[in-house]
Amino acid sequence: MNLLEGLEKCGRLLFDLCFPRICAVCGRTLLYHEQHFCLECFADIPFTHFWNVQDNPAEKVFWGRCRVERVYSLFYYTNNYRGPIHMLKYDGHTPIGKFLGKMLGKKLLLPDNFIQFDYIVPVPLHWRKLLSRGYNQSEVIAQGIREGLSGRGNVPKIIPNLLCRKRFAASQTSKEREQRWRSVKDAYALNRYCRRVPGRGSHILLVDDVLTTGATLEACATILVEQLGCRVSIATLAYVE
């Protein structure tokens, strides 16, 4: 270790002492070498392994609804592992989104199922939400995925503003299922002001934080498939069983 590295390590140790970093799952104070997760919680991440499995449960969510080629989620959204998503969405902790996105990107590089994506498109937030949160968590994840994918082939470009959310989230609890779907479907559109529009046949990786009912992703994917003639695959950090 040279002098510079030694100084950097001392600085980080001092920083950790003043502002302890905690594990996103169990809340324990992290050690110097740990990033976002303590070693135990990192080892226990409930990976889905969907990147190795065609016709996986996440892909079946979209069967009969819209034409989606592959669906990848990094881990199951179980009780303990909701923490990282919560930190990303509500605590302004963007580095964990990038960290997990990069991890997912690397999984997609596995040789036997490698797909060359042309573009990465995050699910958009309504501008009012974007203004209050200060960032789009899906875009943060997309940046991580892009970084993870940079080891092979052409690195896909991110188009953060290809889609837009037209309507602010309304309370959906009392609405019927059909009405609910209609309101999600109509909430998204192509952004007229986006300058980079993928050509027909381009393969887009659509990115969101969590896959639950798939309504949002279905709405966005349908626009990309039907209006732009693109091929669409989906990547989310978490998958709700």
**CB environment 105-139: b (16+ within 10 A), e (fewer):** bbbbbeeeeeeebbbbbbbbbbeeeeeeeeebbbb
Q: Identify whether the C-beta of residue 44 lies closer than 8 Å to the C-beta of residue 103.
A: no
| Window of 30-38, 69-77, 80-88, 196-204 that interacts with Zn ion by CB under 5 A | 30-38
- Among 36, 41, 88, 124, indicate the residue that binds Zn ion (CB under 5 A): 41
If one asks whether residue 85 binds Zn ion (CB under 5 A), the answer comes out as no
Smallest separation, CB 27 to Zn ion (Å): 7
If one asks whether residue 87 binds Zn ion (CB under 5 A), the answer comes out as no
Give the count of beta carbons closer than 10 Å to the beta carbon of residue 77: 21
For residues 23 and 163, which CB has a smaller minimum distance to Zn ion in the complex? 23
Total binding residues for Zn ion by CB under 5 A?
5
Smallest separation, CB 28 to Zn ion (Å): 5
Helices 94-107/83-90 angle, 10° precision: 130
Give the count of beta carbons closer than 10 Å to the beta carbon of residue 40: 12
Q: What is the CA radius of gyration of the chain?
A: 19
If one asks whether residue 31 binds Zn ion (CB under 5 A), the answer comes out as no
Among 74, 27, 86, smallest CA distance to 46 is for 74
Smallest separation, CB 94 to Zn ion (Å): 20
| Backbone dihedral angles phi then psi of residue 88, each to the nearest 5 degrees | -70, -45
Q: Between 9 and 28, how does the x/- string for binding to Zn ion read (CB under 5 A)?
A: --------------x-xx--
For residues 36 and 102, which CB has a smaller minimum distance to Zn ion in the complex? 36
- Among 36, 38, 108, 211, indicate the residue that binds Zn ion (CB under 5 A): 38
Specify which residues 190 forms β-bridges with: 163
For residues 81 and 117, which CB has a smaller minimum distance to Zn ion in the complex? 81
Q: How far apart are CA 165 and CA 178, in angstroms?
A: 19
For residues 23 and 121, which CB has a smaller minimum distance to Zn ion in the complex? 23
Using CB under 5 A as the criterion, which residues of the chain lie in contact with Zn ion when the complex forms? 23, 25-26, 38, 41
